[in-house]
Structure 1
Amino acid sequence: MSSDLSSLLLASLHPASRKQAEQSLTALSVQPGFIGALLQLVLGEGTQDRSVRLSAGVYLKNVTKLRWEEDLNPIPDSDKVELRKALVPLMLLLSAPSDKTIRAQVAESISLIAELDFPERWPNFIDQLTTSFSPTDTTTNASVLDTARCIFATSRALVHSDALFSEIMTLLL
């Protein structure tokens, strides 16, 4: 699936082939394992083409946004579990300055999922973040903090309430 997916993502960047590629991507996206194949491309496994990696990151964000809680064609639960396990390590692997644009797409996916699933369906998220800190690697620490910023930014717009403060305290303790 990975090589077909790579070709379709590249084709979606060209106006002449965009519509057909997007239709094919939509059909593929409902198959179990699709999220895992996207993650491999984001990491650059099998390809070093930045445009494929960035397109995979954008498509991951879009699929997450559109189908995470959709009733008709939701992302399979097995793919959701795989994605939640992989996102924090993925952000750490994308900590190089050259991966900034790809990391931004992954961060947006994390933010979307955390808003819907954290803490009920993603209880170990904060633990994943805090155990990722490094005493010597500032680049890794910057990625961890950037990931935390993405999820906590959604709380900024919330009205201050006892329920909000209670949830924040639960997360911190």
Structure 2
Amino acid sequence: MAADVGHIAQLLQATLDPAQHREAEAALKQEATKPQYSLTLLTIVSSDSFPVNARLSAALAFKNFIRLNYVDANGNYKIPQDEVQTIKERLIGLMIASPANIQSQLGEAVSIIADSDFWERWDTLTQDLVSRFSATDPKVNIGVLEVAHSIFVRWRPLMGTSGLYTEINHVINTFGTPFFQLLAVRTSLLDKSSLFHLHGFRIQS
């Protein structure tokens, strides 16, 4: 039986109550063994019908589930392939649209998945990111760049290898040009804003 959205949301809420925390955590561990538990958590995260603290708890639970259950020591998936694919299809857009506190939890999950799959098993990721750049909505762009940061920050402690350089070249080829185009657009808007101010105009927000 698949995990039940309403029941899991109630359990997540209960984990915030010290009197119910231990029992709720034990129940969630049982739910985590059911099919599509990870997708149920993402459904809760994405739904405005649940309280913000429940959505944040779902994001945290999703991150922890991915850390423990995404791949084994040999890099083999521990969850079904179709669930992996659906996670990848939903996660980026959800992270971009989420509040900052939820975004940070989902960003860590993206980084965990990227450690395993990027770029060869997730070669559409950077194209997905650049397709979401907006010439008019800075909030969307910030979300995209937060996702990108959660992926690229993994490089900092790594030693240079041919595999790493191949991954970096993939990012440069797929992400670099659209990113610089976005910077050019935003810089142009800033220049226009400065010009208006220099001539004594007040820009209406």
Task: Measure the CA separation in 2 of the matches of 1:26 and 1:45.
Answer: 25
User: How far apart are 1:45 and its partner, in Å?
Assistant: 4.4
1:78 corresponding residue in structure 2:
82
Cα distance change, pair 163–69 in 1 and its aligned pair in 2 (3 A): closer
Structure 2: gaps (5+ residues): 174-205
What's the Cα RMSD here? Answer: 1.7
What residue identity is the alignment partner of 1:82?
T
User: How far apart are 1:150 and its partner, in Å?
Assistant: 0.7
Cα distance change, pair 15–75 in 1 and its aligned pair in 2 (3 A): farther
How many residues matched? 167
- Of structures 1 and 2, the one with the larger relative CO (CA 8 A, separation 6+) is 1
Cα distance change, pair 82–163 in 1 and its aligned pair in 2 (3 A): closer
User: How far apart are 1:16 and its partner, in Å?
Assistant: 2.0
User: How far apart are 1:78 and its partner, in Å?
Assistant: 2.1
What residue identity is the alignment partner of 2:40?
A
User: How far apart are 1:92 and its partner, in Å?
Assistant: 2.1
- Larger Rg belongs to: 2
Task: Measure the CA separation in 1 of the matches of 2:61 and 2:79.
Answer: 13
Identity across aligned pairs (percent)?
31
Matched, 1:159 2:159: yes
Structure 1 stretch 25-34 or stretch 129-138: which is displaced more? 25-34
TM-score, length-normalised on structure 1? 0.90
Structure 1: gaps (5+ residues): none
1:51 corresponding residue in structure 2:
53
1:68 corresponding residue in structure 2:
70
> Match for 1:4 among 3, 7, 11?
7
1:124 corresponding residue in structure 2:
124
CA contact (8 A) 1:134 1:140 kept: yes
